[in-house]
A and B are shown apart, each in its own frame.
Chain A
Amino acid sequence: MSATAELRSGAMTAPDAPPRPALSVEGLTISVRAEGRERALVRDLSFTLAPGETIAIAGESGSGKSLTSLAIMGLLPPPALRVSAGAIRLDGEDLTRLPEGRMRAIRGNRIAMIFQEPMTSLNPVLSIGRQLSEAIRAHAPVSRTEARRRALEALKAVRISEPERRLDQFPHELSGGMRQRVMIAMALALRPDVLIADEPTTALDVTVQREVLDLLRDLQREMGTAIILITHDMGVVAEMAERVIVMKQGQVVETGPVAQIFAAPQQPYTRDLLAAVPRMGDGSGAPAPAAETAPVARLRDLCVRFDIRGGLLSRVTHRVHAVEGVSFDIRAGETFSLVGESGCGKSTIAKALTGLVPHQGSIEVAGHRLGGLSPREMKALRRDVQIVFQDPMAALDPRMRVGDLVGEPLLIHGIGTPETRRARVATLFERVGLARDQLDRYPHEFSGGQRQRICIARAFALQPKLIIADESVSALDVSVQARVLDLLAALKREFGIAYLFISHDMAVVENISDRVAVMFMGQMVEMGTRAQIFGNPQHPYTRRLMAAVPVPDPGFERPPLPRLAGEVPSPVYPLGKAPRRQILRDIGGGHLVVGAAAEGR
């Protein structure tokens, strides 16, 4: 859809004249001053945004896309960062030259913004109603009651459940999806001309992302707001935007209508970026390895519950049923994936497997049963199970050299002499694609992808039987993600190791898994081979998860789905009550589904 076709009745101009842009950016250059030198972080960026249009700025970390949005808002943190050249024009006025007082009248009024982290973007000590009406009263001269009425109206517009009650609630009482709705309500309450959405759904679960994207599109249609969508997710770009600007290291690589960029990318970087995007298919591909290898891990009827105390004597009143009656095997040499949304218990299973949380039921790892082990036996068991975490920066001690970090497991388990350890670390380093001479550097000297490689090298140091990868590639850029996934697959083939791969990303799971289990509210709702789950999903929740994934294809027609505003049910039960156990049935070939064979519950 071209920009001119989007011309709305509200923005009437001469029929053949181009519509007056809602915003235009001309030769924008953003510089940072460090050590007395100025360095451009964004160079010569130009685009115009028509009323009601959505333009996506896509790129990986360090591309300058978020800096651009802060520059438009006039929120670049001084004095280090500043707009050093170019102009940002709104109604012909250059925003980069406006004094703070006049810029303030535009911020939140004509141009509004929503951010990536809904969990931290709202002030924790002020009520939702107060934060909303404050945004309204900052620009509209209305009374408190009137502002509150309009705040309620804005909440209703974003289809939040029980809007009246939300006004008096505080941010911590709301889920991430609800908080992002509040942010959108706040941004759109004054009907701005331009909305900047900086990774608005990156921190959200995939079904919530779906709801928020739908909502943004509905509101845009209703209000005619122009949207600048900042994102790294090409699926979101394909579904939301009309035009796209691909950026890399502060420079525009390519720009054009979405259909054209996806169908015929001109630049090699755009082609690589699109090629690296994991796509969901029907689960075809190489079949899972022979089913009859011995299991590395056996979980039977695993339950993990956390107590919530209350009352005069702080007795247990409620329990969080984090994991409830989960059973599965992980076979040698396979990748077994757990998928589900936040709070479904997938990470708790990983913790139970490594003995980090107490559990009920039985867990056997490499022939040893967890629970009742002596500290020494526990230590031996830990040799066989290693974890690669989500955030490689947080998982590496910033004050240790990376060589020592990778060699530390060997040291802890007393393996080898200093020389042999050093040699082993060097071999591991080369195996994960890093250079031997980088061993004496510190974690901050590496990029995110390299850090994750270091974490992988550390996990492999003890030659474990099972590696738990807990969202290990979720924080990485797509091109880096693809390479790390390749590395994991290659290492699996080489060492015959098994992975427990935990992820919320259905496309990534399809690309790497042999078998998949879908979890919901602490229980498993479906389990089977990749082909069974992705080719023939049975449970409604599995289908919903898959349908929610953004498709990186502008031509894709999404079947209309009912707009959802519901809340995720809670796994907290009063003492003595327990969630109803779901019974898994085999519908053929080891494909297990909850409830009736074909229809689900």
Chain B
Amino acid sequence: MLAYVFRRLVQSALILLGVSFITFLLLYVLPADPVRQIAGRSATPETVENIRRQLGLDQPFIVQYGRYLAGLFHGDMGRSYLQKTEVAALIMARLPATLLLMLGAIVAELAIGLSLGVLAAVRRGGALDQSLMIASFVAVSAPQFVVGLLLLYVFAVKLGWFPIGGYGHLSNLVLPAMTLGIMGSGWYSRMMRSSMIDVLRSDYIRTARAKGLGRARVLALHAMPNAILPIIAMIGIDIGIFMSGIVVVESVFGWPGIGQLAWQAIQRVDIPIIMGVTLVSACAIVLGNLLADLVTPFIDPRIKLR
């Protein structure tokens, strides 16, 4: 187990190195010039060149990348071009909000997706099953900004159950987390349904019923743990999908997370922040997948991590 974690962490470091290189390269070849953004329109060519030299942006690509990497190894993610603040501090200030949002979204999508999936599987072929599957299809296909605005309109503006925006209270979390998680809940209800249907057909479910166990116990104790197994690995991948979602959701709800930070940085070509956010996201994805893989053996005794 420890050896496995160690090996996975080494792999993760290599993945992060690859991500940093590709992102840095893409930003380097980007036609937008960060120096122009900093200097402003009225700046003289000399000022522009000065700033360029100061930031080291006149150096060849490999030198720039090498300097960035060297900084990273010392825990230095650089400074924002425009705000002059340390990138690490900027991200750390906003990371908790984003993590909270993601956690909320995972809870929402699992609670909704898994329970509806089980319900559909048990009522397989019936009207409830069919309407649930149509609903899940809508949930998967609906764009997040539409879902977000719709939820805001209905639950915040019309019904007034939840606040329109803001941060700090649990009620603030509900609508953004739902918006971020609704697509996943559609996926999970479909996966859980087909996984449950497979499991309910299996021999050990027949054995459990032959013992004289009640229906609820058979479902909860014998069917669900087996049906969830193939789904756990997906939760790790979700974090990657969320990363693209938070930019939209945080903008719609004014959520003070790194999605907003990234959005502003992209508009201003603030390369250190873009790099920082990308690396932190990549870290989250890698760790999320590792965590999902580490949880599996606790549910499935057949899996040994080696």
Tier of interface size on chain A: 20 to 34
A310 to B305, CA, bound (A): 10
Contact (Cβ within 8 A) A125 B299: yes
Taking CB atoms, residues of chain B closer than 8 Å to A104 are 212-214
Taking CB atoms, residues of chain A closer than 8 Å to B6 are 312
B226 contacts A by Cβ under 8 Å: yes
B306 contacts A by Cβ under 8 Å: yes
Q: Mark A109-144, 1 if CB is under 8 A from B, else 0.
A: 100110101001111111100000011001100000
Taking CB atoms, residues of chain A closer than 8 Å to B306 are 309-311, 314
Contact (Cβ within 8 A) A312 B7: yes
A121 to B208, CA, bound (A): 9
Contact (Cβ within 8 A) A135 B211: yes
Taking CB atoms, residues of chain A closer than 8 Å to B213 are 104, 108, 134, 138
Contact (Cβ within 8 A) B212 A138: yes
Q: Mark A83-113, 1 if CB is under 8 A from B, else 0.
A: 0000000000000000010001111110011
Contact (Cβ within 8 A) A124 B301: yes
Contact (Cβ within 8 A) A312 B204: no
Nearest Cβ in chain A — how far from B250, in angstroms?
38
- Nearest-CB residue, chain A, relative to B205: A123
Contact (Cβ within 8 A) A124 B207: no
Taking CB atoms, residues of chain B closer than 8 Å to A183 are 207
Taking CB atoms, residues of chain B closer than 8 Å to A120 are 202-204
A125 to B214, CA, bound (A): 19
A115 to B225, CA, bound (A): 22
Taking CB atoms, residues of chain B closer than 8 Å to A326 are none
Interface residues of B in 193-238 (CB under 8 A from A): 202-204, 206-215, 221-222, 225-226, 229
A75 contacts B by Cβ under 8 Å: yes
Nearest Cβ in chain B — how far from A265, in angstroms?
33
A120 to B204, CA, bound (A): 6
Contact (Cβ within 8 A) B7 A75: no
A73 contacts B by Cβ under 8 Å: yes
Contact (Cβ within 8 A) B222 A121: no
User: A170 with B302: in contact, given A108-B210, A135-B211, A138-B212 (CB under 8 Å)?
Assistant: yes
Taking CB atoms, residues of chain A closer than 8 Å to B209 are 75, 107
- Nearest-CB residue, chain B, relative to A73: B210
A365 contacts B by Cβ under 8 Å: no
A310 to B302, CA, bound (A): 16
Q: When the two chains form the complex, which single residue of A127, A138, A309 contacts B211, counting CB atoms closer than 8 Å?
A: A138
Contact (Cβ within 8 A) B300 A123: no
A183 to B204, CA, bound (A): 11
Taking CB atoms, residues of chain A closer than 8 Å to B215 are 100
A108 to B218, CA, bound (A): 14
B3 contacts A by Cβ under 8 Å: yes
A506 to B91, CA, bound (A): 72
Nearest Cβ in chain A — how far from B294, in angstroms?
17
A469 contacts B by Cβ under 8 Å: no
B interface: dominant SS = helix
A186 contacts B by Cβ under 8 Å: yes
Tier of interface size on chain B: 20 to 34
* Of listed A73, A105, A106, A124, residue having the most chain B CB within 10 A: A124
Taking CB atoms, residues of chain A closer than 8 Å to B302 are 124, 170, 172
User: A126 with B222: in contact, given A115-B206, A120-B203, A170-B301 (CB under 8 Å)?
Assistant: yes
Taking CB atoms, residues of chain B closer than 8 Å to A100 are 215
A309 to B206, CA, bound (A): 36
User: A75 with B206: in contact, given A108-B212, A123-B226, A172-B302 (CB under 8 Å)?
Assistant: yes
A122 to B302, CA, bound (A): 13
A306 to B303, CA, bound (A): 20
Taking CB atoms, residues of chain A closer than 8 Å to B203 are 115, 117, 120-121
Contact (Cβ within 8 A) A105 B212: yes
* Of listed B209, B225, B226, residue having the most chain A CB within 10 A: B209
User: A112 with B7: in contact, given A123-B204, A124-B302 (CB under 8 Å)?
Assistant: no
Taking CB atoms, residues of chain B closer than 8 Å to A186 are 207, 211
Nearest Cβ in chain A — how far from B123, in angstroms?
12
- Nearest-CB residue, chain A, relative to B2: A312
Taking CB atoms, residues of chain A closer than 8 Å to B300 are 124-125
Nearest Cβ in chain B — how far from A239, in angstroms?
25
A310 to B206, CA, bound (A): 36
- Nearest-CB residue, chain A, relative to B304: A310
Contact (Cβ within 8 A) B212 A139: yes
Contact (Cβ within 8 A) A113 B210: yes
Taking CB atoms, residues of chain A closer than 8 Å to B208 are 123
Taking CB atoms, residues of chain A closer than 8 Å to B202 are 120
Taking CB atoms, residues of chain B closer than 8 Å to A73 are 210
A170 to B300, CA, bound (A): 10
Q: Mark A312-333, 1 if CB is under 8 A from B, else 0.
A: 1010000000000000000000
Contact (Cβ within 8 A) A172 B301: yes
Taking CB atoms, residues of chain B closer than 8 Å to A108 are 210-213
A309 to B3, CA, bound (A): 13
- Nearest-CB residue, chain B, relative to A74: B209
- For the complex with contacts A120-B203, A121-B203, A312-B7, 12 further pairs of A-B residues with Cβ separation under 8 Å are A75-B206, A75-B209, A104-B213, A105-B212, A115-B210, A122-B204, A122-B207, A125-B229, A125-B299, A126-B221, A186-B211, A312-B6
Which residues on B are within 8 Å of A, measured CB to CB? 3, 6-7, 202-204, 206-215, 221-222, 225-226, 229, 299-302, 306
Ordered by A's residue number, 10 sampled pairs between the chains whose C-beta atoms are within 8 Å are A100-B215, A104-B214, A108-B212, A115-B203, A115-B210, A123-B207, A134-B221, A135-B212, A170-B302, A312-B7
Q: Which 3 A-B pairs have the closest CB atoms?
A: A108-B212, A107-B212, A108-B211
